[in-house]
């Protein structure tokens, strides 16, 4: 018998009713929100206002690594909120200092700048690279190189480093001095990096483009070329870091040590935080007044992040992620083999996996069907890929249930055939 609660399928007609969600009239319509209202989370499930329970393979977009309403996180937040919520960075305080010590010890990168999000962490890394060249008197070294297919954030500097033109449309002119090179193309990278490049920023696993891992040889070449030409190597681990690929930091999986690592998303298991980890050789570039953040490193998110470390260490999450990720990948491979006209082979690492959908089938249609008919929350990424980034604590039983619900969804879509566009 399934360990999961069962309930009648959501009626699709109910989703078409407007003016039924809290704040719907006044929230800016810049998100394509699914027509359900989430009111509670428990572990790997989300519950809507009607009491329907959904298995969550989105986790706040790779954020809630320990699941929803994790008691240890809740207790750490409450305790810290009752003691000190904000003091600014005009003073030292214990939560941010302890978290900086923890991140430095685990990464080998000796200095940490805290912010509030991934895009801010990347902005700090970009400013660091430019300022370091300035401090050295290298006036010709200002270019920031990134990869085609990359996504580094939505603020202007991080957006300029993002190669996908879709995110830039209507926001030009963006800051200059940014260039792009094909992902996983060593020959092109050799041509792109020279003495004008201040930094090469790369995602070890591209997320928004459809879950595409870097080749280890590509990252090793990036390290070698950055050393040769005096550029910083920045790993954007906003989505793939903090254990998502089976090691605490993604660079540990690939065996390539960068000069800078950026983190956010799951660091505080749902509270806003960003972190830019910096090697000692580069950290002196930013001095008092060069950069800052009012809320960066605030006590409550830092306390939640410290609790996250305690729990993940106690659970031995890295080994768990590798084991569970292999089981999920095997199930996705089975769907590809059963429906080769609908799916390409799965890709990714650990619990950051993608299942590419072949046209004329659409990932979004599968996402919608899974949610409405089978209470399974999925996410579409890239051009046409199903992205799986569940809580890292998801169990074998829950993975089996996910795969069962997904199989029913896919069977229904296959029976109906792809929707034909006019």
Please tell me the distance from the alpha carbon of residue 149 to that of residue 163, in angstroms, as a whole number: 6
Q: DSSP string of 162-185?
A: ---GGGTTTSPSPPS-EEEE-TT-
Three-state SS letters, 289-334: CCCCCCCCCCHHHHHHHHHHHHHHHHHCHHHHHHHHHHHHHHHHHH
Please tell me the distance from the alpha carbon of residue 159 to that of residue 122, in angstroms, as a whole number: 10
Of the residues 56, 183, 218, 236, only one is catalytic, namely 236
| Nearest alpha-carbon partner for 126 in 85, 156, 82, 93 | 156
Give the phi and the psi of residue 44 in degrees, each rounded to 5. -100, 20
For residue 43, the tally of other CB atoms under 10 A from its CB is 18
Contact between 143 and 175 (Cβ < 8 Å): no
Please tell me the distance from the alpha carbon of residue 103 to that of residue 275, in angstroms, as a whole number: 9
Please tell me the distance from the alpha carbon of residue 126 to that of residue 197, in angstroms, as a whole number: 11
Please tell me the distance from the alpha carbon of residue 72 to that of residue 172, in angstroms, as a whole number: 44
| Nearest alpha-carbon partner for 161 in 173, 178, 182 | 178
Residue 202's contacts (CB-CB under 8 Å, 6 or more residues apart) are: 146, 147, 150, 183, 214, 219, 222, 233, 234, 235, 236
Three-state SS letters, 332-344: HHHHHHHCCCCEC
Of the residues 114, 151, 235, 254, only one is catalytic, namely 151
Please tell me the distance from the alpha carbon of residue 312 to that of residue 249, in angstroms, as a whole number: 13
Of the residues 251, 265, 279, 368, only one is catalytic, namely 265
Please tell me the distance from the alpha carbon of residue 169 to that of residue 290, in angstroms, as a whole number: 30
For residue 252, the tally of other CB atoms under 10 A from its CB is 18
Q: Is 236 known to be catalytic?
A: yes
List for the chain the helix, strand, coil content (%; round to 5).
40, 20, 45
Residue 84's contacts (CB-CB under 8 Å, 6 or more residues apart) are: 93, 299
Positions marked catalytic: 151, 236, 265
């Amino acid at each position: 018998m399934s360990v999961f609660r069962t309930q009648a399928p959501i009626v699709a007609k109910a989703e078409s009713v407007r003016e039924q969600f809290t704040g719907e009239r006044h929230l800016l319509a810049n998100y394509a929100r699914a027509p359900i209202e989430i009111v509670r989370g428990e572990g790997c499930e989300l519950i809507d206002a009607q009491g329907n329970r959904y298995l969550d393979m989105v986790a706040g977009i790779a954020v809630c690594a320990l699941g929803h309403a994790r008691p240890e996180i809740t207790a750490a937040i409450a305790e810290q909120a009752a003691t000190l919520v904000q003091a600014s960075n005009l003073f030292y305080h214990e939560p941010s200092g302890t978290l900086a010590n923890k991140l430095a010890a685990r990464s080998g990168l000796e200095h940490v700048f805290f912010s509030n999000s991934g895009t801010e962490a990347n902005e700090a890394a970009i400013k660091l690279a430019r300022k370091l060249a300035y401090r050295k008197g290298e006036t010709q070294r200002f270019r920031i190189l990134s990869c085609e297919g990359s996504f580094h954030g939505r603020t202007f500097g991080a957006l300029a480093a993002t190669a996908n033109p879709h995110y830039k449309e209507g926001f030009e002119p963006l800051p200059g001095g940014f260039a792009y090179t094909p992902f996983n193309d060593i020959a092109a990278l050799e041509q792109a990096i020279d003495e004008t490049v201040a930094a090469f920023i790369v995602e070890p696993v591209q997320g928004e483009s459809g879950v595409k891992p870097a080749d280890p040889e590509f990252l090793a070449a990036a390290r070698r070329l950055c050393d040769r030409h005096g550029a910083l190597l920045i790993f954007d681990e906003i989505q793939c870091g903090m254990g998502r690929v089976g090691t605490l930091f993604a660079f540990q999986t690939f065996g390539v040590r960068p000069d800078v690592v950026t983190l956010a998303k799951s660091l505080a298991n749902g509270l806003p935080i960003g972190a830019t980890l910096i090697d000692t050789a580069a950290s002196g570039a930013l001095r008092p007044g060069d950069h800052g953040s009012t809320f960066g490193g605030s006590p409550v998110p830092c306390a939640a992040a410290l609790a996250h470390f305690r729990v993940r260490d106690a659970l031995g999450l890295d080994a768990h992620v590798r084991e569970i990720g292999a089981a999920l990948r095997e199930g996705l491979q089975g769907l590809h083999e059963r429906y080769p006209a609908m799916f390409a082979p799965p890709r990714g690492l650990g619990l950051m996996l993608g299942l590419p959908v072949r046209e004329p089938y659409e990932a979004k249609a599968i996402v919608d069907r899974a949610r409405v008919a089978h209470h399974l929350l999925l996410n579409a990424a890239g051009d046409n890929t199903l992205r799986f980034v569940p809580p890292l604590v998801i169990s074998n039983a829950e993975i089996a249930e996910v795969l069962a619900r997904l199989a029913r969804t896919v069977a229904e879509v296959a029976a109906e055939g792809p929707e034909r566009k006019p």
